[in-house]
Amino acid sequence: RKARLEAELSHASDIQFPTQLTSRTQDDVFAMLLKQERLIFQARSEGLDTQVKALRGLREFLQKELASLEAQLVFLDKQIGSIQKELTAVSTLVVKGLAAAPREFSLERALAQVQSERLSAETSLLRGRQEISKTDISILALQEGRKNEVTIDLRQTQAELDAIESKTETARRLLYESAVSAPALLARRADAELAAPIYTIFRLSADGATVQIQANETSAIEPGDTIKVEIPLAADETGALDLTLSERHKAPGLELKAETAGNTVGIP
């Protein structure tokens, strides 16, 4: 669809489909889709061409009519000039008493009639020019309307493609995580659950200094002691936490500190 809209927008004679589609024309589904897009492209192009040709035909007819009206105006101008000359001569004779007044009146009526015909022809000429302008505007509006329609459809299509691409990428990432990352994470969590906690007792000595004492689950604690419990994280497959068993107490872990309230407290 995007390729068809781009072809319509550029007034191309045919659709240039991407190679990702043309390389799969052996698939009946893809072949049918490409054929449908070509048929839609052809129908829309022919429909627009038919409307534009009709308007251009009307414009040519109006131009011929204008040419006829312009020729008619030239003829009427000559006729008006001839009648005016004759009227001037007759009026002179009427003043001298050598011609009858009805002849003068007849020429005046003829002159008025021809001038009226000229005015009507001139009005028709102006209307014809106005109709030609309207026809040009209609052709332009038709072409611009199709262009705007295709532009809007192209933007919507691109937005839909972007959304599909985003969903596809998300699905691909989730599939990768479910196939690779999730098992590795579960394995690391299982290792962490099986790892033995590391206990450290912080105790104030008689001189006020803090002494660290490595402890275990059965170690006794005294009032004022602070206990730190570390749960070491298991190393991942990439070696991000590549620790040996003797170095795991240095790894970042969950730290728990508690003040004791009795003389001795067993650590469960």
* DSSP letter for each residue of 180-234: IIHHHHHHHHHHHHHSPPEEEEEEE-TTS-EEEEEE-TT----TT-EEEEE-BPP
Is 256 within a domain? no
- Tell me what percent of the chain is helix, strand and coil, each rounded to the nearest 5: 70, 10, 25
Average pLDDT (99-123) is 87
Residues 201 and 176 in one domain: no
Instruction: Report the C-alpha gap between 267 and 263 in whole angstroms.
Output: 13
Higher pLDDT: 239 or 52? It is 52
Is 235 within a domain? no
Looking at residue 177, what DSSP letter applies? I
Report residue 196 as tokens: 């033995």
Task: Please tell me the predicted confidence (pLDDT) of residue 98.
Answer: 73
Cα separations (Å) of 34 from 4, 22, 157?
9, 8, 16
Domain holding 212, by residue range, is 197-230
Residues 169 and 98 in one domain: yes
Average pLDDT (139-167) is 86
Angle between helices 101-176 and 2-9 (to 10 degrees): 150
Instruction: Report the C-alpha gap between 221 and 260 in whole angstroms.
Output: 8
Is 191 within a domain? no
Residues 210 and 105 in one domain: no
Count up the domains in the chain and report the number.
2
